[in-house]
């Protein structure tokens, strides 16, 4: 990918859904994929029926990161394997899932791509766009990652998006349930979100970039 700008990545979403022949669709965006998702929806609101935002970012790493994550990011320039494994262990603990996620990150992008994305997004702040996005949005806060995800990020999304609601999900199965209810316009009773103060030294991983489209 030669052009890593937000506008180019948002255009990629349009290319994918056009190729799929989807006139209207829902987007499920996680983590850093929130940036291109908000950029796309701001200009193409008529095509997006619903937004599912799982710890989705609205600001670039220079606007949201804590010093500890900035220090960890420096490791990416020195040892890509160690960085991706450490990031996965930070989020998921000493588990087989963490090992697999570290491998998954390396399969999805190279160190050069990752650092280029970080540079392109460093000072991005899309918060001013949020009040203009009236698309129904489900903001999912994962209690599983409460120790590494800043709790104020979900609050900011819900308070800034005109048509958003917040739910706390404990695992993937619970997320599937609330998302299916949301996409089917069935009422979803919000669970109390795990809003805890960020512990000293804790930081939020930001390398994951995932968005999905769903026919509506």
Secondary structure, 3-state, the chain: CCCCCHHHHHHHHHHHHHHHCCCCEEEEEEECHHHHHHHHHHHCHHHEEEEEEECCCCECHHHHCCHHHHHHHHHHHHCHHHHHHHHHHHHHCCCHHHHHHHHHHHHHCCHHHHHHHHHHHCCCECHHHHHHCCCCEEEEEEHHHCCCCCHHHHHHHHHHCCCEEEEEECCHHHHHHHHHHHHCCCCCCCCCCCCCCCCCCCCCCCCCEEEEEEEC
Q: CB–CB of 121/139 below 8 Å? A: no
Quick one: how far is CA 129 from the chain centroid?
16
pTM summary value: 0.77
**Is residue 103 exposed (0-12), middle (13-18) or buried (19+ Cβ within 10 Å)?**
middle
Query: In the chain, where does the domain assigned CATH 3.40.50.1820 lie?
Result: 6-61+124-215
Q: Which residues pair with 28 in a beta bridge?
A: 52, 212
Other CB atoms within 10 A of residue 30 CB: 20
Rounded to whole angstroms, what are the CA distances from 44 to 107, 127, 157? 31, 17, 19
**pLDDT recorded at residue 136:** 96
- According to DSSP, the residues that pair with 168 across neighbouring strands are 141
By the 10 Å C-beta count (0-12 exposed, 13-18 middle, 19+ buried), 107 is classed as: exposed
Q: What is the pLDDT of residue 205?
A: 39
State residue 49's pLDDT score. Answer: 95
> Looking at residue 191, what is its pLDDT?
42
pLDDT of the residue at 147: 59
CATH topology for 6-61+124-215 is: Rossmann fold (3.40.50)
| Nearest to 41, CA basis, from 182, 190, 208, 164 | 164
pLDDT by position in tens, the chain (length 216): 577 888 999 999 999 999 999 999 999 998 889 999 999 999 999 999 999 998 888 888 866 655 666 778 889 999 999 999 998 888 788 899 999 999 999 999 999 999 998 888 888 999 999 999 999 999 988 766 665 566 677 888 899 999 999 988 888 888 889 999 999 864 444 444 443 444 444 433 333 444 555 444
């Amino acid at each position: 990918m030669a052009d890593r700008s937000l506008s180019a990545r948002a255009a990629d979403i349009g290319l994918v859904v056009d190729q799929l022949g989807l006139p209207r669709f829902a987007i499920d965006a996680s983590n850093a994929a929130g940036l291109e998702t908000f950029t796309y929806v701001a200009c193409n609101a008529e095509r997006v029926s619903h937004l599912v935002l799982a710890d989705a970012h609205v600001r670039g790493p220079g606007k949201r990161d804590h010093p500890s994550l900035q220090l960890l990011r420096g490791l990416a320039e020195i040892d890509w394997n160690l960085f991706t494994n450490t990031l996965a262990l930070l989020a998921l603990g000493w588990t087989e899932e963490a090992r697999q996620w570290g491998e998954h990150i390396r399969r999805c992008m190279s160190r050069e791509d990752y650092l280029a994305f970080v540079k392109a997004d460093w000072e991005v702040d899309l918060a001013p766009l949020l009040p203009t996005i009236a698309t129904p949005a489900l903001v999912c806060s994962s209690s599983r990652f409460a120790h590494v995800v800043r709790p104020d990020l979900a609050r900011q999304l819900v308070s800034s998006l005109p048509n958003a609601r917040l739910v706390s999900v404990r695992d993937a199965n619970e997320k599937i349930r609330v998302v299916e209810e949301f996409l089917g316009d069935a009422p979803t009773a919000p669970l109390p979100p795990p809003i805890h103060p960020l512990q000293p030294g804790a930081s939020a991983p930001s390398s994951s970039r995932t968005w999905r489209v769903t026919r509506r």
